[in-house]
Chains A and B, each alone.
Chain A
Amino acid sequence: MIEGISIYEILSLSSILFFIGIYGFFTRENLIMVLMSIELILNAAAVNFVVINTYLYPDFLQGTIFSIFIIALAAAETALAIAIIINLYKLVTSVEVKDTEVMKY
């Protein structure tokens, strides 16, 4: 834990990060931007896991391991989604959300 910083401040920081990600998820029109907002959301969740693990249960490791899993999932999801986006761009030459009505080749 950090000296002089309580759990409330870090949890507030991570929830602000989370809702900034949700705002971006709602407003962005571009698929890559939507993906970046998802990255923000996943990061905020991972920070929450780790911080609660350190501040409340320092003898256990569950939070750490779960955030390792979150990071692995986020990397996998990003790779797959970017492959899909590039393929979609080859088909419809656009990555805007409103243009991608057909997900079938």
Chain B
Amino acid sequence: MIVFALATVTSRKVLRAVMYLLFVLIGVSGIYFLIDYSFLGAIQIVVYGGGVIVLFIFSVLLIHHVELELEVTPLKKKIIAGLLSAAGLGITLWAIITYPFKAVNASQPIEVSEIGNKLLSYGDGGFILPFEVISVLLLAVMIGAIVIAKGKKLEK
């Protein structure tokens, strides 16, 4: 997974980078399946593998030629970005490793119906408000994407 993630950010062919990203996303959904959250894993595969990757492929094909190679980033920029992210990674790993997590050893697989009840309950600790907000957001994004994508035609 890490190899594919590195390939995603370093590959110079656009379509190959998209494919490497798809492999990374499938690996993430594999983690979800391993820890018994199969609903999340299924969502991950459907939304990313089925939606987002197809969007990326379409936009790449609309914009670039398939074999087009990206510009090489200057080495100085690469070194600076690499140093910065390595430093951040070091600090984060140090913080994770030195923090004593108290892992609880009782895991039961969660049901999909539990997630649904939690999402729609308006009692204590329910998530009905964020759920509604995110559905309004999705509607707004849908309309916005349509309007933006055909903006030129609307002007005339």
Q: Which A residues contact B (CB, under 8 angstroms)?
A: 1-2, 6-8, 10-13, 15-24, 26-30, 32-33, 35-37, 39-40, 43, 46-47, 50-51, 54-58, 61-62, 64-65, 67-69, 71-80, 82-87, 89-90, 95-96, 105
- Residue contacts A-B, CB under 8 angstroms, 25 given: A1-B103, A12-B96, A16-B5, A19-B88, A20-B8, A20-B9, A26-B85, A27-B73, A28-B73, A29-B73, A30-B71, A33-B14, A39-B21, A47-B31, A54-B35, A58-B106, A62-B125, A64-B110, A68-B115, A74-B52, A75-B47, A76-B141, A79-B55, A90-B152, A105-B151
Give min CB distance, A84 to chain B, whole Å: 6
Contact assessment for A13 and B55 in the assembled complex, using a CB-CB cutoff below 8 Å: no
In the complex, whether B66 has a CB less than 8 A from a CB of chain A is: no
Q: Which residues of A contact B35 (CB under 8 A)?
A: 1-2, 50-51, 54
Q: Which residues of A contact B47 (CB under 8 A)?
A: 71-72, 75
Q: Which residues of B contact A57 (CB under 8 A)?
A: 104
Q: Please pick, from A18, A20, A80, A105, the residue contacting B141 in the complex, using a CB distance under 8 A.
A: A80
Q: Which residues of A contact B77 (CB under 8 A)?
A: 26-27
Specify the main secondary structure of chain A where it touches its partner. helix
Specify the main secondary structure of chain B where it touches its partner. helix
Contact assessment for B104 and A36 in the assembled complex, using a CB-CB cutoff below 8 Å: no
**Residues from 54 to 87 in B contacting A, C-beta threshold 8 Å:** 55-56, 58-60, 62-63, 70-71, 73, 77-78, 80-82, 84-86
Contact assessment for B73 and A54 in the assembled complex, using a CB-CB cutoff below 8 Å: no
Q: Which residues of A contact B119 (CB under 8 A)?
A: 65, 68
In the complex, whether B156 has a CB less than 8 A from a CB of chain A is: no
Chain B interface residue count, CB cutoff 8 Å, equals: 80
Q: Please pick, from B92, B115, B138, the residue contacting A64 in the complex, using a CB distance under 8 A.
A: B115
Further 11 A-B residue pairs, CB within 8 A, beyond A27-B77, A43-B28: A1-B105, A15-B96, A21-B9, A32-B14, A35-B56, A36-B18, A40-B8, A40-B21, A51-B31, A65-B118, A67-B40
Q: Which residues of B contact A65 (CB under 8 A)?
A: 115, 118-119, 127
Contact A13:B1 (CB < 8 A) given known A8-B96, A67-B40: yes
Most chain A beta carbons < 10 A, residue from B2, B70, B108, B145: B145
Contact assessment for B55 and A78 in the assembled complex, using a CB-CB cutoff below 8 Å: yes
Kindly state the separation between the CA atoms of A42 and B39 in the bound complex, as whole angstroms.
Answer: 18
Q: Which residues of A contact B108 (CB under 8 A)?
A: 58
Kindly state the separation between the CA atoms of A29 and B71 in the bound complex, as whole angstroms.
Answer: 7
